Amino acid sequence: MGANYAKVLLDDSGGRAFDYGVPEGLAAVVGSRVRVPVRMRTLLGTIIALSETTEADGVRMISELVGDEPALSPGLVALAQWMADYYCCPLEAAMKTVLPNVIRKAEVGHKVRLFARLAREVSDEELAELEKKAPKQSDVISVLREAGKAIAVAELCEQCGVAHQTVQTMAKKGWLVVEPETVERDPFGKEQFVSSGKLELNEEQRTVFARVAAAIDGSVDAKKPFLLHGVTGSGKTEIYLQGIDRALELGMGAILLVPEISLTPQTVERFKSRFAATNHEVAVLHSHLSEGERHDEWHRIRSGKARIVIGARSAIFAPVEKLGIIIVDEEHENTYKQEEMPRYHGRDLAVLRGHLEKCVVVLGSATPSLESAYNAHTGKYELLQLTMRVDDQKMPFIRIVDMRLEAKKSSPIISDPLAKAITSRLEKKEQVILFLNRRGFSTTLLCNKCGYVAECPNCSVSLTFHRAQNRIVCHMCGHLAVAPTKCPDCKDPGIKYSGTGTEKVEDTVQKFFPTAVVKRMDADVMQKKESYREALGAFRAGKIDILVGTQMIAKGLHFPNVTLVGIINADMGLHLPDFRASERTFQLLTQVAGRAGRGDVSGEVVVQSYTPFHPAIQFARHHDFTGFYEQEIEWREKMVQPPFTHFVLITVRSPHEERAKLSIETLHRRLKEVLPPGVTLGEPSPAPLEKSHGNFRFHLSLRSRAVLKLSRAIRSVLDKNPLPEDVFAVVDVDAHQLM
């Protein structure tokens, strides 16, 4: 017997939900998409609850169900509700994250869409000719030529900035064929996957896997999340693969979250090839998918065709039914935290979804976050460990170079010990990675005479000199200017560039080693997906001797011939006003070091630092996670920082400094009146990054153990005290980004 009433959350209506009657025989359930009457119109919405009774007057009936099946499972609806409550955001925003617009739109329209392909081969001459007459049309042809396949017309228009009409005209002229298609776009469709079998687990892996398998089988009833702490190369991924396999055998599905940056073809291939043998399809979700691809992957998952999902943080919302296992690889990664509303943490939602859907959760890392390590310590999570590399290789030898002494002697970029190490590796035809987490050539443009520093007009940060383009660039907002040759203030020609970016490292290295092939890999040179793939391919094939890069090269890549990793400046992140600064530095050093020596030759890491005795550096040097954890957790407890409390950061911003300041002061007063006991409320203050994108920014910090109560209190204050025009407030629960 069906329920009488349904609470329907309307799309795009600021989170309003109303009760509607359920017509006799309508298979409405929580998660169903429906059309409902609102005044004179019919609107779309999602059922978020069912009930026998209602207190509302004049309840109208649901007009119809949309789609053959409910779009969301009750578990995902609950996840959205929890997310809105916890992260202090409107339910509608949370629902949009769980059920993105591209799915909402498509469920209404028809599934068949128009695709365009080239009607015939177009020669370069013809293209050049067309370019003169109709540059937009020639763009369309170039894009299609490059793609080598049909592209949805909507996407083509978006990509080339042309109107639908243009595509139709081109079809009439005989350039293109436009026809409806229902084919699925598989982003990796062109590639063939050779199936690869299971590996025989070593003893440590067997012990770990036994626990995970028992939990999946259901032979342990309380499903605590697992924290899998395993050094780099200890075979964590093999555990993931076999865990997923077990879930599939039992007819269940799996989600694997990986940081966006390590969602490389390499990772995907490893998974696809493993499951190719059993004909299980893998869906891949990441932020570079086109709308069409995202739509298709979602439906492949929803229909049960693909039971394995690999993706970046938002893949935690994948509509997998009967989840058997959720895995979060590199669970310590910052990129799991979404830095826009809803500001959720993918790892924390994984734990919650696991709890809601009673499925196994495995959080894996070589350098677990303090939060997760603490949860394992207190018994909230079960700790599993892999202490040895699979090939029994020693951990790389890490040498710390004291740059306070070296920089005077040699170059501030490449110290003598690093130069010697590089020389010896090059002689042996082995490869080198040099790491620096900062793009550009020089990081500051400084006048020695008057002290002028080139700053962004919109942001309170200095501009970075990019020599290749001869521009000074803001890394916050992208502001660009031609690099001056003399001081804009005092006109002195002695203007100097100081500080080091990857571009300068590349330049210096090439000068030091003129015969070596040096390649830089950072967001500046790798703007296209293909250039990233190409560079990695060339490096793997041994065509590059030295790879210089930012964190793009730090994570999850396997290069057996890399025997030396140089870290140009280990201190960079240490002195930020952020309680996680040490933790991040420790993690980064350990991760980067993990790139060295994965083949038959053992690896070496040279770390250049001006604070060589900093604990984060020393513990990383000795591969001592436990030592680091114990010291850091003691400090966090003393300072009452996470994981001993929840940290909530409110940012108020406005193009008008006074308005922002007044607003945060008012907010502070109002909060003070209503906050529950046990909350520590900070004083309002300018944010460390005082100005960004032309907005003045102020911070207010709150700490509390009971975060739900706190979130609700903040929400009620914000709801009751509307902000003045041009003032915006952002509430960040469990904030990671403290600038």
Site for ligand ADP, rule CB under 6 A: 199-202, 205, 230, 232-238, 390
Binding-residue total with Zn ion (CB under 5 A) = 7
372 contacts which partner out of Zn ion, ligand ADP, none, CB within 5 to 8 A by kind? none
* Category of 56 on φ-ψ map: left (φ > 0), alpha (ψ -120 to 50) or beta: beta
DSSP character string of 377-396: HTTSSEEEEE-S-TT-PPPP
Angle at 370 between CA 568 and CA 383, to 5 degrees: 115
147 Cβ neighbours under 8 A, 6+ residues apart: none
The residue ranges of DSSP E strands in 552-603, in sequence order, are 562-567
- Give the nearer residue to ligand ADP in terms of CB position, either 272 or 302: 272
For residues 476 to 515, the per-residue mask of contacts with Zn ion, x marking binding by CB under 5 A and - elsewhere, is: xx-x------------------------------------
233 contacts which partner out of ligand ADP, Zn ion, none, CB within 5 to 8 A by kind? ligand ADP
Minimum CB separation of residue 660 from Zn ion in Å reads 17
25 Cβ neighbours under 8 A, 6+ residues apart: 2
235 contacts which partner out of ligand ADP, Zn ion, none, CB within 5 to 8 A by kind? ligand ADP
232 contacts which partner out of ligand ADP, Zn ion, none, CB within 5 to 8 A by kind? ligand ADP
370 scored as a contact of Zn ion (CB under 5 A): no
- Give the nearer residue to ligand ADP in terms of CB position, either 5 or 209: 209
63 scored as a contact of Zn ion (CB under 5 A): no
- Give the nearer residue to ligand ADP in terms of CB position, either 199 or 468: 199
Beta strands at 323-328 and 176-181: parallel, antiparallel or unpaired: unpaired
The CA distances from residue 708 to 88, 93, 95, 703, 711, in Å, are 9, 18, 19, 12, 5
Residues 460-479 that bind Zn ion (CB under 5 A): 474, 476-477, 479
Check if the beta carbon of residue 49 is closer than 8 Å to that of residue 40: no
Minimum CB separation of residue 262 from Zn ion in Å reads 29
458 contacts which partner out of ligand ADP, Zn ion, none, CB within 5 to 8 A by kind? Zn ion
- Give the nearer residue to ligand ADP in terms of CB position, either 230 or 566: 230
The DSSP output letter for 317 is: G
Residues 717-736 that bind Zn ion (CB under 5 A): none
* Category of 678 on φ-ψ map: left (φ > 0), alpha (ψ -120 to 50) or beta: left
- Give the nearer residue to ligand ADP in terms of CB position, either 238 or 333: 238
237 contacts which partner out of ligand ADP, Zn ion, none, CB within 5 to 8 A by kind? ligand ADP
The token pair at 209 is 């896997």
459 scored as a contact of Zn ion (CB under 5 A): yes
CA distance 46 to 164: 31
- Give the nearer residue to ligand ADP in terms of CB position, either 7 or 270: 270
Minimum CB separation of residue 234 from ligand ADP in Å reads 4
Check if the beta carbon of residue 97 is closer than 8 Å to that of residue 43: no
Minimum CB separation of residue 208 from ligand ADP in Å reads 11
- Give the nearer residue to Zn ion in terms of CB position, either 456 or 567: 456
616 contacts which partner out of ligand ADP, Zn ion, none, CB within 5 to 8 A by kind? none
199 contacts which partner out of ligand ADP, Zn ion, none, CB within 5 to 8 A by kind? ligand ADP
Minimum CB separation of residue 568 from Zn ion in Å reads 25
Minimum CB separation of residue 236 from ligand ADP in Å reads 3
474 contacts which partner out of ligand ADP, Zn ion, none, CB within 5 to 8 A by kind? Zn ion
- Give the nearer residue to ligand ADP in terms of CB position, either 202 or 411: 202
Minimum CB separation of residue 189 from ligand ADP in Å reads 25
Minimum CB separation of residue 362 from ligand ADP in Å reads 12
Q: Classify residue 89 by burial, with Cβ atoms within 10 Å: 0-12, 13-18, 19+.
A: buried
202 contacts which partner out of Zn ion, ligand ADP, none, CB within 5 to 8 A by kind? ligand ADP
Minimum CB separation of residue 287 from Zn ion in Å reads 23
Minimum CB separation of residue 232 from ligand ADP in Å reads 5
Single-letter residue type at 580: R
680 bridge partner residues: 703
Check if the beta carbon of residue 692 is closer than 8 Å to that of residue 477: yes
CA distance 669 to 700: 11
- Give the burial string for 57-84 (b: 16+ CB within 10 Å, else e): eeeeebeebbeeebbbbbbbbbbbbbbb
Residues 268-287 that bind Zn ion (CB under 5 A): none
- Give the nearer residue to ligand ADP in terms of CB position, either 232 or 375: 232
C-alpha torsion sign, points 668, 669, 670, 676: positive
What stretches of 606-656 show up as alpha helix (H) in DSSP?
615-621, 625-638
Residue listed under structure tokens 């976050």 = 369
- Give the nearer residue to ligand ADP in terms of CB position, either 598 or 636: 598
Q: What is the 3 state secondary structure string of 227-238?
A: EEEECCCCCHHH
Residue listed under structure tokens 């040498």 = 399
Minimum CB separation of residue 456 from Zn ion in Å reads 3
Residues lying near Zn ion in the complex (CB under 5 A): 456, 458-459, 474, 476-477, 479
